[in-house]
Amino acid sequence: MAEQIKVSVDGGQERLYPAGVTPLEIYREQGDGQKEPLAAVVSGEKRDLNTPLYDDCRLSFLYFEDEEGARIYRHSASHILAQAVQRLYPGVKLGIGPAIENGFYYDFEFEEPLTAGELEKIEREMKKIIKEKLPIERCVMSREEAEAFFREKGQPYKLELIADLDGDAVISCYRQGEFVDLCSGPHLTDTGKVKAVKLTGLAGAYWRGDERNPMLQRIYGTAFPSREQLEEHLRLLEEAKKRDHRKLGRDLDLFSLHEEGPGFPFFHNNGMILWQELTDFWRQEHRRAGYEEIRTPIILNRRLWEQSGHWDHFRENMYFTRIDDQDYAIKPMNCPGAMLVYRSRMHSYRDLPRRIAEMGLVHRHELSGTLHGLMRVRSFTQDDAHIFMLPEQIEEEVKGIIQMVDRFYSIFGFQYRVELSTRPEKAMGSVEMWDRATAALEKVLKSNGIPYRLNLGEGAFYGPKIDFQIQDCLGRSWQCSTIQLDFQMPEKFDLTYIGPDGQKHRPVVIHRVIYGAMERFIALLIEHYGGAFPLWLAPVQVVVIPLTERHHDYARVVFQELLSAGLRVTLDDRNEKVGYKIREAQMKKIPYMLVMGDREMQSGEVAVRHRDRGDLGACSRSELLERLQEEIAAKK
């Protein structure tokens, strides 16, 4: 073993260190000393700060501001939660405890069910463990040692996880004080590094997400490096509760969910207006960009799904039926239908690119425990498109899609970041074909100066993809739009075009969505806007409010003018006080309220009140109509 090793920190010049030096020791020698890192990245692999280094390597550090750094921080907090629970409930059986976006959870099987009132007691015990500043140390065991250890501790779920590991694998565990957990890490150096924690909820969760397994209790929490950051996060959580699309969907009469169809949402009239406006905008933009629109059947023969690869790779998420003694499947994706449409006629290279779009209804079997309003459903409509092209057209087509995505998201006020996802374990096609497709997408991103994050192993089973993570007004991230490059489907469906040489060649296919699932995108819009949709999307755009009965006739004239001009307008001529009517319109998030009294009736004007900006004064009816139509057309 070498006595010295070469280490390059953050891509800088290599320096010599004694073998066995730790990343933390290197940081303390080279770092600015103001803010200690949470973990290290050693030649591309995440490691504890106290990991001894024995080989030449590249070294960088992770902080809470880094996504991976925050996950490590909160994963350590989940171990503190499990230790606190084990201290307070000695017979508890431990499940798993990963970090999740903005927090963490841990699953437990208690001898007696836990109540939400006990979370405060557990949180106090967590704070004691944090004050103890217990070192968090990695230890390794053989399979036999690990099985004996967790069997003695009475932890059947840990034994099940060990059984799933590679037979020759060394079992990685982490110890803090008396608590030991099965874990690959990395972790913080000690429990005292966690500064602010809060337990946020209690829920049921099937072991490993399978409804055939026991139901465990899941404790949710979050952790931050400061009390101020935690309090700001909790404030945003409270705001998110007010914006919950399930509550607003009910209050604004947009949609409903029923036990007669779990995971199959019912859209009401107001929700359908929202849906139709989004669809009209989508259709207009796609026609302008040279797309043709198709519609394909919901039920198709099993042979098609075997040919596409879905039967082997996606069958557990599909619904089936039999027709004329043959197996059929309800489509979980629109892709195979688009392949058949392309294959229905011959193509020349001059026909390409051919852009085919579809608002296609699909069905996927989701576990009942994962269903969540419109965010996670079993039937949804995808705004799919499939672009068939020559290999040399890839860069230009991907660039065009990125520009379309940017146009859509800017209209709704979404910021976004980009991720490139590569070949998963379960994938169709050769590694060479995957490398070719991935390189093509990477080239587009780099040549257009688009920053992106690499998502190793997260591609679709048939090709790599570019994902767009949008950020809403509360700072939450959601994956909606995606661009997937596919060399596999053209092979499977024997798709061809006649090239300049008169011979048959394979086209390349791009699968892409902009909204993603319409249901989910509507849920995001409801929460992003808090139900207060911009004028062009609002189910009711204007309400006309006469002050008294003698103003009803004039109010009807104004109402009819706006209705004839194509606005979505209502007339509130109930025998109620005007203040009550205005408050109710505000509750319904109606953008404009027009109040009619003696002054307005005599002048032929309208008194305009805006949902957010309050009283805007009086204006002529023609001026008002022009202003509203301009705002709608601009999609402000």
Q: Regarding the domain delimited by 255-296+331-529, which CATH topology (the fold level of the hierarchy) does it fall under?
A: BirA Bifunctional Protein; domain 2 (3.30.930)
pLDDT at 32: 66
User: Model pTM?
Assistant: 0.79
Distance between CA atoms of residues 296 and 40, nearest Å: 50
Residue 454: enclosing H or E segment and its boundaries? strand 452-455
pLDDT at 369: 76
Query: Are 270 and 588 within 8 A, CB to CB?
Result: no
DSSP state of 314: S
Domain spans of the chain, in order of start: 4-62, 69-234, 255-296+331-529, 542-634
- The residues that are catalytic are 335, 364, 382, 384, 386, 465, 511
- Which structure tokens are listed for 21? 């030096």
Distance between CA atoms of residues 463 and 489, nearest Å: 9
CA distances from 348 to 344, 397, 497 (A): 13, 18, 5
Query: Are 606 and 600 within 8 A, CB to CB?
Result: yes
- Which structure tokens are listed for 284? 């207009």
pLDDT at 2: 66
Query: Are 266 and 260 within 8 A, CB to CB?
Result: no
Query: Are 69 and 38 within 8 A, CB to CB?
Result: yes
pLDDT at 367: 83
- Which structure tokens are listed for 359? 């608002």
- Which structure tokens are listed for 321? 């039926």
Distance between CA atoms of residues 493 and 308, nearest Å: 7
Right CATH for 4-62 from 3.40.50.720, 3.40.50.450, 3.40.605.10, 3.10.20.30:
3.10.20.30
Domain 542-634 is in which class? alpha beta
Architecture of domain 69-234: 2-Layer Sandwich (3.30)
DSSP string, 49-106: TT--B-S-EEEEEE-TTSHHHHHHHHHHHHHHHHHHHHHH-TT-EE----EETTEEEE
- The size of the chain, in residues, is 636
pLDDT at 540: 98
pLDDT mean by block of 10 residues, the chain; 636 residues: 84 90 91 82 93 93 93 97 97 95 94 93 97 96 94 95 82 96 95 96 90 93 96 90 93 95 96 97 96 97 91 89 95 94 97 97 88 92 96 90 93 90 77 81 87 80 83 80 87 94 95 94 94 97 95 95 97 93 96 95 94 93 95 93
Alpha helices in 179-261 (DSSP H): 227-242, 245-251
Distance between CA atoms of residues 32 and 8, nearest Å: 17
